[in-house]
Amino acid sequence: MQGQSLTTVADYERLVGGKTVERILDKARRLGDLHVVNVSSTYYGGGVAEILSSLTLLMNSAGIKTGWRIIQGRPDFFSITKKMHNALQGDEINLTSLKMQIYEEVALENAVRNHFDHDLVIVHDPQPLPLIQHYRKKSPWVWRCHVDLTQPNAELWSYLSKLIERYDAVVLSLPAYAQNLGTPQRFIMPAINPFSSTNKDLTDKEIDERLSHYDIPTDLPIVVQVSRFDKWKDPEGVIRAFQIARKSVDCTLVLVGNIATDDPEGQDVFASLCRCADERIRILSVQDSALVNALQRRAAVVLQKSIREGFGLTVTEAMWKGAAVVGGRAGGITHQIEDGVNGFLVGSVEEAAERIVALLKDRTLASRLGEKARESVRNRFLMTRLMEEWLDLMGSFEPRFGLRGAAGSQN
């Protein structure tokens, strides 16, 4: 195959330096030929899939045999797990015994179909969480939760924590998400692959081609939000902010989203937003990483006006491209944007509108923030940093699964 090659740790050398590359490869070598499996609920359509697509390949390139399996589930199962996702982010939930039965039944079916006899099993998010009930563990199991756990629903948490406490470690994105658990908790922030189709450099011609493919007008400055059609991303707030901003500055809003197979609410959110579409408010439901890349590069302002956000890879991606980013003051976004330094944080529709106008009027400000944004991603949010933190965690398991020096939580 001509020109086909996978990214390796060495490809990051010009971004992170030779010493970092050597240190990571050395840590990987010391783990021997560890066999690791990740389990999640969708191959595309959200941050978990985006991270695993790159991280699993990078791990393999360094000799850690890393696989990725998806659980199969019926629509009613995913409707329940989406309700759980929402409740973990603070919603109410009507947790009936039927819901718990379907949830656990699907886990049993998937447990029978899969044979996890790996050296490490990493289970992502609530969907596959109960799998652990059906195994006699031979190795450590880690639950990696990506959602914003600022205020989980107490009833749901009490049900799930019985499952969570069967794990040997829990990995959350931020110390602020730490819970009262008997299981040791570790905190690892996600990261991006700068060489993926979402993030790699594009020429102006390639950007133009993607935008014209979707008939996106380029005559006025573009304001963009890229995210699943999910209420926590506040797409309605984005439209309202844009409507206020456009009274002061002419611009076009593009909302791009995809609908993940494990997110049954997306279709309804998309349909209701479409009522607001007009010549200057474009709403696209499509899975096209090159379009995401092109929009984040061409946008005059990138919004991520989330109300809850586990981490917010779309923020990282836009910052990497030197975009002027306006993010909701929520979860992981506040760990990426330093207000007024490498972007803006906002707490309301009005504030978002104000920042959009300011950035559209002052392009020097926009590029100054964008430059800082790119630099902060280079320093903190590239995939090599994420890989190294996982290697450290893998190396810290004692033979009998416990984490060395483990306490309930660690900041």
Residues forming contacts to ligand UDP in the complex (CB under 6 A) are 46-47, 50, 198, 226-228, 256-258, 287, 289, 292, 311-314, 317
Take residue 119 and report the two structure tokens written for it: 């050296």
Residue 64 contacts residue 388 (beta carbons within 8 Å): no
Considering the complex, what minimum distance in angstroms separates the CB of residue 312 from ligand UDP? Answer: 5
Shortest spacing between CB 348 and ligand UDP, in angstroms: 21
> If DSSP codes are grouped into helix, strand and coil, which group holds residue 13?
helix
Residue 309 or 388: the one with the smaller Cβ distance to ligand UDP is 309
Minimum CB distance to ligand UDP smaller for 235 or for 257: 257
Question: Which is closer to ligand UDP, CB of 168 or CB of 309?
Answer: 309
Q: How many Å apart are CA 237 and CA 267, to the nearest integer? A: 18
- Least distance between ligand UDP and beta carbon 56 (Å): 15
Residue labelled with tokens 């909701």: 328
Give the CA dihedral 245, 247, 250, 254, nearest 10 degrees: 50
* Bridging pattern class, strands 141-144 and 222-226: unpaired
Helix (H, G, I), strand (E, B) or coil at 210: helix
The nearest distance, CB 302 to ligand UDP, in angstroms, is: 11
In the complex, least distance from residue 192 CB atom to ligand UDP, rounded to whole angstroms: 7
Own/partner long-range contacts of 19-27 (Cβ < 8 Å, ≥24 apart): 20/384, 20/388, 21/384, 23/388, 24/62, 24/384, 24/387, 24/388, 24/391, 25/62, 27/388, 27/391, 27/392, 27/395
Nearer to ligand UDP, 333 or 393 (CB): 333
Residue recorded with tokens 């430059």: 371
Q: Provide the minimum distance between the beta carbon of 284 and ligand UDP in the complex, in angstroms, as a whole number.
A: 8
**Dist. CA 94–CA 34, nearest whole Å:** 41
Residues 343, 32: Cα–Cα separation, whole Å: 42
Minimal distance in Å, beta carbon 19 to ligand UDP? 29
**Backbone CA torsion sign across 78, 82, 88, 94:** negative
* Closest C-alpha to 148, from 122, 169, 174: 174
Is 249 within 8 Å of 293 (Cβ atoms)? no
> Is the CB of 139 or the CB of 227 nearer to ligand UDP?
227
Dig out the tokens for 72 from the structure.
Answer: 């199969």
Selection from 64, 166, 153 nearest residue 123 by Cα: 166
Write down the least CB distance from residue 147 to ligand UDP, Å: 8
Phi/psi at 112 (5° precision): -70, -40
Q: Taking CB positions, which residue lies at the least distance from ligand UDP?
A: 47
Cβ proximity to ligand UDP: between 20 and 53 the closer is 53
Query: What is the residue whose two structure tokens read 């045999």?
Result: 65
CB 40 within 8 Å of CB 48: yes
Which residue, 100 or 271, is less far from ligand UDP as judged by CB?
A: 271
- Nearer of residues 119 and 309 to ligand UDP, judged by Cβ: 309
Gap between the Cα atoms of 172 and 168, Å rounded: 14
Q: Which is nearer to ligand UDP, 197 or 396 (CB)?
A: 197
Nearer to ligand UDP, 256 or 359 (CB): 256
Smaller CB distance to ligand UDP: residue 164 or 226? 226
